A and B are shown apart, each in its own frame.
Chain A
Amino acid sequence: MSTTLTPAPKKTNRIGLEVLSYKGGKTTLCAGCGHNSVSERLIEVFYEMGIEPWKVAKFSGIGCSSKSPAYFLNLAHGFNSVHGRMPAVATGAVLANRGIMGVGVTGDGDTASIGLGQFMHLLRRNLPLVYVIENNGVYGLTKGQFSATADLNSKMKTGVVNDLPPFDCCALALEWGATFVARTFSGDKKQLAAILKAAVSHNGLSVIDVISPCVTFNDHEGSTKSYSYMKDHEEPLHEIDFVPHFEDISVEIAEGEVQDVRMHDGSTLRLRKLDKSYNPTEKFDALGALNEAEKKGEVLTGVLYVNTEKPNFLDMLNMDDAPLATLPQSRVRPPKAALDELMEELR
């Protein structure tokens, strides 16, 4: 048995579907856009996890990132909604139809400005949803204005310097009650894929901040969200292996400290530690590590925090196991006797 846990590409996955069944439409984003790499990883992850694409529902807000749900999983329903308010749409849809696996794709413009309020409340509710922030520090679709995640003193293509400090969506997510927080880089294929798989297995909201460079408006000298900046400053917390529930976990553990996190669906998130002091089940460790990294000018990547205990929103609402959308009339219209009783009380 090898320690490489990603199976070699086969013609079909465990439910007999070809990778073609997971593809989307042709991208209209710029060639080299980080968001396209994220779409490719999503295709790969859903294929390898063997999830029926028609069980997935894709949600997005407005912006370049939010166009991308059209570029993966054509066989999944998709909803390109309004700016910053994808969380509300996803919440409604998941409540209506709890059988769906929700994937939200948003950007830094969508989440960290108009969407900040909805982002906070989504975290508070712990809605089961994969929430991918394609973070490039810039508004691409309106041609290159700074977003609220642009770093202090980073430079716009025109030379304008950003004089406001950034929001760190991971730190904010931790503060606001997140149960799964990760940061990664669109160029780090292996880490991104492993994190997405863990997110898919998580029973609650998973926030993944993907630094995803904008080749047109934010990939120049002086940018802190460029490919070259990320290559120089990315600091992985750990090496991540993801062992899905349908695969054998009895692999040899190599040298070095390893921490296994058992996910809700029986999968295992195996973190091979690079920094011994770090424990991703401790919220304050995560916040501390982010703070340290910021001081050192590093971009910390990996699974920052995971909590598999907290109930998700559907549990909190004590909802019926069947999707509300398709409950028959007999279960949603109380009998005549109920109305008669109510009328009697009002006479």
Chain B
Amino acid sequence: MSTLEVSPAEPRSSESARRIINDFTIQVATVNGSGSQTANSVLMRSIFQMGIPVSGKNMFPSNIAGLPTWFTIRASRHGYIGRKKEVDFLIAMNPETAREDVMTLPPGAAVIYDEPLKLNSLRSDLHFYPAPFDKLVAPVCPEAKLRKLVRNMLYDGIIAFLLGIDMEEIRKALVKQFGQRKAKAATLNFGACQAGYDFAASNLPKTDPFSVERMNETAGKIIIDGNSAAAMGCMFAGVTVVTWYPITPSSSLVETLIGSLKRHRVDKETGKATYAVVQAEDELASIGMAIGAGWGGARSMTSTAGPGISLMSEFVGLGYYAEIPTVLFNVQRVGPSTGLPTRTAQGDLLSTALLSHGDTKHPMLFPCSPEECFSMAGEAFDLAERFQTPVFVMLDLDLGMNNWMSDAFEYPTKPLERGKVLSAEDLKRLGGFARYKDVDGDGVGYRTLPNTNHPGAAYFTRGSGHNEKAGYSEREDDYVNNMERLNRKFESIRGASLRPAVDTHPAAKIGLVYAGTSRYAVEESRDQIRKEYGIETSSLRLRAFPFTHELVDFIKGHDRVYVVDQNRDAQLLALMRLEFDPREIAKLHSIRYFGGLPLDARTISDEIVRQEGL
């Protein structure tokens, strides 16, 4: 094509001579609502299907259409799936941000762009690949109104040529994306992709060093987001009452769950549902219903984010004092209500742990991966019913909404743990019961459900003003005894808490403590510190609160322990301050990131280097 512009200057030749295989980050810059999601998912999946470890992160605005959005795909032969700051391959589709996107690239990066944007004049140290998107899309998509969507598939084809992605994998990924029922859509999109590929093959000589080669690192693995994984976990945990109110980034958890329940939990013979889902009027109601359902004997849950957690505060306190099981998923985002609702953070750790008024504290689970979202959902229901208390599963937006490469989930074999519930037969045998009496010494009393067919089944539920028999009491000793027993119960929860994942290096003086999605950045950072400074580190990934003795042992075994927080105020560290004695606390140092993007390894490494004075 004669109208094509050529890069004004060649990038450094050493860059182009060196081949970089399966180790790069692609960033697709588009406009929100332009339908790039399919193209991005297909691109990610086709690399995955070639056996190469891959991760995808969507950085999107709080907006339905019109604002800029970026999708980042990282391929890593080393298996690193955390975010990498540097972009190696930019696909610049958004005129609004194209200039800044190009200016922030590191030297040697490559840029695919819509030709009219004329980005090649901006820098001389990049590999530019212009393509006339509008001209290319018209012949492959006769229906004008679909062109905006199909247009994006062109860049999949162009980059497939440039990186060496097998077109057959793209075709398979498209079929997967659209399913058998939308085979026509898959064909249309593949046509566009092929047009992009053919254009690139005849017009864009490859000058950049990046390429893919088949590996065998993804066999048997799946691609799924954390919210969907958690939803599946809830379904296989036998959830029966789901009450919720839509909020980003947690909505897709319940939306996926509704789909799964319709498919797998409607009785084939009777056509009746073995569950109830209610979209409540607000979070005040959704938690109230979850608490009511837990009290009534259901496996109940709700799902929300920080602003919802704040609204649920009063009810959760009642749940704690009145000892009612329920499960809350908190998919954390940057606060507050009108903050950055589509950006990730782990900023609700403190507020959730101590949610509500009076002396309250709650167990939390910290999944780091889709597998853990799945398995910890089951754990959470078991814990809630066993200990008769609200239990929180703390995801973050990065885990909940982004697609992750994951091992396939294992079918749960452990029977559902329904806790200490007395039946009519039990009551006949026992003659009666005292709801809040610590019969077994673990702080957990026996409860009955309404509609238990026995005159001795009933008890009256209210907050903390009750004696062992659930009778109304404002007596000092009754209150103190009750509160002491609740503390014993919390210690029992600690005993049953999920243990941390510890990786101790015998020579390490430095330890890193973290939770959830910080895992990927920390693991990569430890490799960076080892490679670049020859320093070994140990790590401990917390999987639950309350903390267990493994954490104390870990702190004791190291000179300096860095606690990694995805919030400004070092909340994970603050929780340790609440639990440990000053000798241990003195060893703790803080590494914090709170910019709203998924944590990256270099941020941690730089901070360790700075604080260690390396």
**Interface contact tally, CB-CB below 8 A:** 221
Nearest chain B residue, comparing its CB with the CB of A120: B281
Q: Given A54-B455, A93-B450, A95-B276, do A323 and B412 touch, yes or no (CB 8 Å)? A: no
Query: Which of B224, B271, B416 sits near A318, CB closer than 8 Å?
Result: B271
CA of A338 to CA of B415 in the docked complex: distance in angstroms? Answer: 17
User: What B residues does A59 contact at CB under 8 A?
Assistant: 292
Query: Which of B265, B290, B460 sits near A70, CB closer than 8 Å?
Result: B460
Contact with A along B443-475 (1 / 0, CB 8 A): 000001111111101111111000000001000
CA of A85 to CA of B243 in the docked complex: distance in angstroms? Answer: 14
Binds B, one of A37-45, A283-291, A294-302, A339-347: A339-347
User: What B residues does A117 contact at CB under 8 A?
Assistant: 281-282, 284-285
CA of A85 to CA of B463 in the docked complex: distance in angstroms? Answer: 14
Do B295 and A79 touch across chains, with their CB atoms under 8 A apart?
A: yes
User: What A residues does B274 contact at CB under 8 A?
Assistant: 320, 324, 327, 331-332
Query: Which of B270, B292, B315 sits near A93, CB closer than 8 Å?
Result: B292
Chain A contact residues, majority secondary structure: helix
Do A318 and B289 touch across chains, with their CB atoms under 8 A apart?
A: no
Do B293 and A95 touch across chains, with their CB atoms under 8 A apart?
A: yes
Considering only residues 50-96 of chain A, those with a C-beta below 8 Å from chain B are 52-55, 57, 59, 69-70, 74-82, 85, 87-96
User: What A residues does B459 contact at CB under 8 A?
Assistant: 77-78
**Is A325 in the interface zone, CB < 8 Å from B?**
yes
Contact with B along A296-334 (1 / 0, CB 8 A): 000000000000000000000111110111110101111
User: What B residues does A331 contact at CB under 8 A?
Assistant: 267, 274
Do B453 and A85 touch across chains, with their CB atoms under 8 A apart?
A: no
Q: Given A82-B314, A96-B298, A320-B272, do A118 and B292 touch, yes or no (CB 8 Å)? A: no
**Is A13 in the interface zone, CB < 8 Å from B?**
no
CB A206 to nearest CB in B, in angstroms, measures 19
User: What A residues does B394 contact at CB under 8 A?
Assistant: none
Nearest chain B residue, comparing its CB with the CB of A321: B272
Binds A, one of B231-239, B343-351, B498-506: B231-239
**Is A100 in the interface zone, CB < 8 Å from B?**
yes
Do A347 and B220 touch across chains, with their CB atoms under 8 A apart?
A: yes
Query: Which of A92, A333, A338, A346 sits near B289, CB closer than 8 Å?
Result: A92
User: What B residues does A339 contact at CB under 8 A?
Assistant: 232, 236, 409, 411
Nearest chain A residue, comparing its CB with the CB of B416: A329
Considering only residues 278-332 of chain B, those with a C-beta below 8 Å from chain A are 278, 280-282, 284-300, 314-315, 318
**Is A99 in the interface zone, CB < 8 Å from B?**
yes
CB A345 to nearest CB in B, in angstroms, measures 8
| Residue picked from B264, B292, B452, most chain A C-beta under 10 Å | B292
Do A333 and B450 touch across chains, with their CB atoms under 8 A apart?
A: no
**Is A121 in the interface zone, CB < 8 Å from B?**
yes
Nearest chain B residue, comparing its CB with the CB of A331: B274
CA of A336 to CA of B236 in the docked complex: distance in angstroms? Answer: 9
Do B296 and A92 touch across chains, with their CB atoms under 8 A apart?
A: yes
**Is B223 in the interface zone, CB < 8 Å from A?**
yes
Nearest chain B residue, comparing its CB with the CB of A83: B314
User: What B residues does A153 contact at CB under 8 A?
Assistant: none
Which 7 pairs of residues, A with B, have the shortest CB-CB distance? A88-B288, A92-B292, A325-B297, A96-B296, A96-B298, A332-B238, A92-B293
20 contacts between A and B (CB under 8 A): A54-B457, A81-B292, A91-B243, A91-B289, A92-B241, A92-B291, A92-B294, A95-B278, A96-B295, A97-B451, A118-B288, A318-B272, A320-B273, A324-B276, A324-B297, A325-B449, A332-B416, A333-B412, A336-B411, A339-B411
Chain A residues in the interface with B (C-beta under 8 A): 21, 25, 52-55, 57, 59, 69-70, 74-82, 85, 87-97, 99-100, 117-118, 120-121, 317-321, 323-327, 329, 331-334, 336, 338-340, 342-343, 346-347
